[in-house]
Chain A
């Protein structure tokens, strides 16, 4: 029974990683860059939701929507101001810029809202479902459901809409896509918009489970989610999903059965083994379906 409860907790944690990992993997798939500021967009999303819920007294859904809107605008703005001018520059310059944006956001948040931790209000039900001696909190179930919904919606969007088709085309070959009349800049903006909007959703799930809001909140989940994206095969959407879930489950099980001190070492050891056997990650393929 304990094993089942660890497994479900792991899936809950993994679902959050998966949603964040989608942001990394989509941007990488299309713009071929690592957006290290993604974790900090999550942090901004958490602050927006926090203020919407506590200071403006909005109910949950409008607060999440507001957070999604702010993050979407922020993501697109960052792309326009910081990354677009570097479209032709070396990937190293873009990487450094992304790290710069990350520090900019962290320090900006610290300046605006101070570094003191704020506690995210408990807006999602605190109760739990009891099956025999197994106890599953509703929050974990909601997190897993939201993750599956997001995955399904995104897969439909990528496969069934013309914008989605254009995104796939851009990820295959930007030059050829442009020649076919696709506005590549627009597609990249859409990618950032979707990734950042998802970051806002992830931030609310993350902060409901672990209710601490502080300026460096996004750093650690960001790195873990990036690991998940690489684990699953960066550039692959199902890969991010699988990678996120696996990472969460391995982390929790390693903590429970091996050692709380070594859990991260074990997670990364598994990552190394996977990359040795499959250098492109679990579901990463060289040419097909990189979005």
Chain B
């Protein structure tokens, strides 16, 4: 019996070790990004000595887990922008990007790690809930942050419900959720040829989705847009949409508004197709990515409208260069809007740093005050918009573009 017990213990230990191995392996893949930037660092440092030091930019986002697509897009695009700016000479930057797995607690831990590293400027977080958790810390330490894609009001306001008490040092590169809801309702009201009866399916346990829906609904009432059905789903019900679609069809909806991410949207499109229900589908920035979903039959997304600040098929030099370099870095993957927003964040920071004469020896707090002054007064031209400005609350002002999916690519819609 004693031997048996020993064997048991050994096996249990083996099991534990193998699990640990798996866990650390995951951690390894998550932090490989910082390893990359660490490798790149000596080169940057060498050239930076001449320019008077490196300004450290931190940030966190999901590099693992369900939302990893967004985090890796932001990390890779930000690295690309930093490398381009450093190659031009002038003020040098160093980027360190931590994994927060789209988890509020991990975002706080990541913030601690970045602060210890000496972060002077931040990309805040990629997603909203971690951003809302980290925002008070940025406020407390007075570190300047601009999030590429944390679109919830809770990222920039202490009191998000009333949009009151902005932090003041946290800025957004993406539209806020309310803006997207209002812009979507306005667009649909202005284009009655798309349809007149709207059905909405949104995710009620997600701030982003329900935030957009509430504003969309309010604006629809103002604009006289008729919502004939609204249905919800949540994490535990994110696969079966037969009921919502049957109800929308029965209500006679000819527009289906989906303020949700593209994974559930792909299921909705598939199931609507199986039912033979073909409304005009209208999405927001979360729909971006549906064409790169592995194995997705893009013909299902034919004719889907979405509001997005960025389309990879634009023909201006800035977009063409970015798309080319991004594809070269990521084995031909076409950049989404998250990548474009991150790229713009770095360029906006660089522009403000130069204009304010910020140098690497300044403290984070000193840099923060100067950057806030710059961001509230400057105009920025980037991938995601021309003449972009920011208000004192940190909200961005730029115009969303409507695109329609035709032949598997985004095609800009002329107003």
B294 and A107 contact, CB distance less than 8 A: no
B267 and A116 contact, CB distance less than 8 A: no
Q: Mark A104-137, 1 if CB is under 8 A from B, else 0.
A: 1001101100111111111000101000000101
Chain B residues near A137 (CB, 8 Å)?
A: 274-275
Chain A residues near B270 (CB, 8 Å)?
A: 122, 211
Query: Chain B interface residue count: which class?
Result: 35 or more
A260 to B231, CA, bound (A): 6
A107 and B236 contact, CB distance less than 8 A: no
Interface residue from A110, A121, A264 paired with B64 (Cβ < 8 Å): A110
Query: Chain A interface residue count: which class?
Result: 35 or more
Cβ distance B415 to chain A, nearest Cβ, rounded Å:
33
Within 1-30 of B, Cβ neighbours of A (below 8 Å) are at 7-8, 11-12, 15, 18-19, 22-23, 25-26, 29
A263 to B233, CA, bound (A): 9
Flag whether B228 is at the interface (Cβ < 8 A).
no
Flag whether B293 is at the interface (Cβ < 8 A).
yes
- Judged by DSSP, the binding face of B is helix
Chain B residues near A121 (CB, 8 Å)?
A: 295
A104 and B243 contact, CB distance less than 8 A: no
Q: Mark A241-266, 1 if CB is under 8 A from B, else 0.
A: 00000000001100110001101100
Cβ distance B410 to chain A, nearest Cβ, rounded Å:
19
B15 and A97 contact, CB distance less than 8 A: yes
- Judged by DSSP, the binding face of A is helix
Flag whether A176 is at the interface (Cβ < 8 A).
no
A2 to B276, CA, bound (A): 15
Stretch from B65-73, B78-86, B344-352, B399-407 that touches the partner: B65-73
B15 and A116 contact, CB distance less than 8 A: no
A111 with B26, Cβ < 8 A, contacts A9-B242, A116-B294, A117-B294 known: yes
B7 and A85 contact, CB distance less than 8 A: yes
Flag whether A156 is at the interface (Cβ < 8 A).
no
A224 to B239, CA, bound (A): 13
Q: Which residue of A lies closest to B270 (CB)?
A: A211
A260 with B263, Cβ < 8 A, contacts A85-B7, A104-B18, A119-B297 known: no
A214 and B66 contact, CB distance less than 8 A: yes
Q: Which residue of B lies closest to A224 (CB)?
A: B236
A119 with B66, Cβ < 8 A, contacts A128-B274, A212-B267, A255-B243 known: no
A137 to B246, CA, bound (A): 13
Interface residue from B232, B243, B275, B296 paired with A261 (Cβ < 8 Å): B232
A115 with B243, Cβ < 8 A, contacts A100-B19, A126-B274 known: no
Cβ distance B26 to chain A, nearest Cβ, rounded Å:
5
B11 and A122 contact, CB distance less than 8 A: no
Interface residue from B266, B274, B295 paired with A139 (Cβ < 8 Å): B274
Q: Which residue of B lies closest to A100 (CB)?
A: B19
A220 to B238, CA, bound (A): 9
A120 and B274 contact, CB distance less than 8 A: no
A128 and B276 contact, CB distance less than 8 A: yes
B22 and A252 contact, CB distance less than 8 A: no
Identify 6 new A-B residue pairs, CB closer than 8 A, beyond the known A115-B68, A117-B263, A121-B295: A2-B246, A6-B242, A6-B246, A210-B267, A224-B236, A252-B242
**Can you name 13 A-B pairs with beta carbons within 8 Å?**
A85-B8, A85-B12, A86-B12, A88-B8, A103-B23, A111-B22, A118-B294, A139-B274, A210-B239, A212-B263, A252-B243, A255-B237, A256-B246
Q: Which 4 residue pairs of A and B lie closest in terms of their CB atoms, listed nearest first?
A: A119-B295, A210-B239, A85-B11, A119-B296
